Structure 1
């Protein structure tokens, strides 16, 4: 499920494979790729659920502008996974809603 060669960016550079945890499951991805890319390659499409109606959300804009892909990363909520690089040992969790701090900043 990975893009092997992008028509504009070309082929991705060879990267080191790393292990990370997603909702208690051990998965693998490539160091430096966006977390969302590693999750999609592992078949994960839901990154968070809306607070009010518990509706699933995943990657939408893929450029860090919306909050659909936010997740809890290493205990910190509201991390935009589409623009955050994957690193060895990261602990990633599905998020419920978006925190008040993000709403105050107008990020919702």
Structure 2
């Protein structure tokens, strides 16, 4: 179900963690966007995957770019800051 908040259409709520802290985001958002909305410090500069400043480690052990990785229910990421 999509919702409209302050003129912005949002997807369904998704819960995941960053460095063990619970974050609520919306389906379709990236990890970086959700982190910034939650005032969590994840570095990021270009927001298009070119610079690599936003690299995080997913629970699978893979390093991924937070600006390109969509949030998913139960996702767990660790920052390198």
| TM range, smaller chain | 0.7 to 0.9
Larger radius of gyration: 1
Secondary structure of 1:13's match? strand
Q: Which has the higher strand share?
A: 2
Offset of residue 43 of structure 1: 0.5
Secondary structure of 2:33's match? helix
Unaligned stretches of 5+ residues in structure 1:
6-10, 47-57, 97-108
TM-score by length of 1: 0.63
TM-score by length of 2: 0.81
1:75 paired with 2:60, answer yes
Structure 1 equivalent of residue 25 of structure 2: 29
Structure 2 equivalent of residue 85 of structure 1: 70
Unaligned stretches of 5+ residues in structure 2:
none
Secondary structure of 2:72's match? coil
Figure out how many residues of one structure are paired with residues of the other and give that number. 77
Structure 2 equivalent of residue 95 of structure 1: 80
CA RMSD of aligned residues (A): 2.0
Is the 1:70–1:77 contact (alpha carbons within 8 Å) kept by the matching residues of 2?
Answer: no
Highest RCO, 1 vs 2 (Cα 8 Å, sep ≥ 6): 2
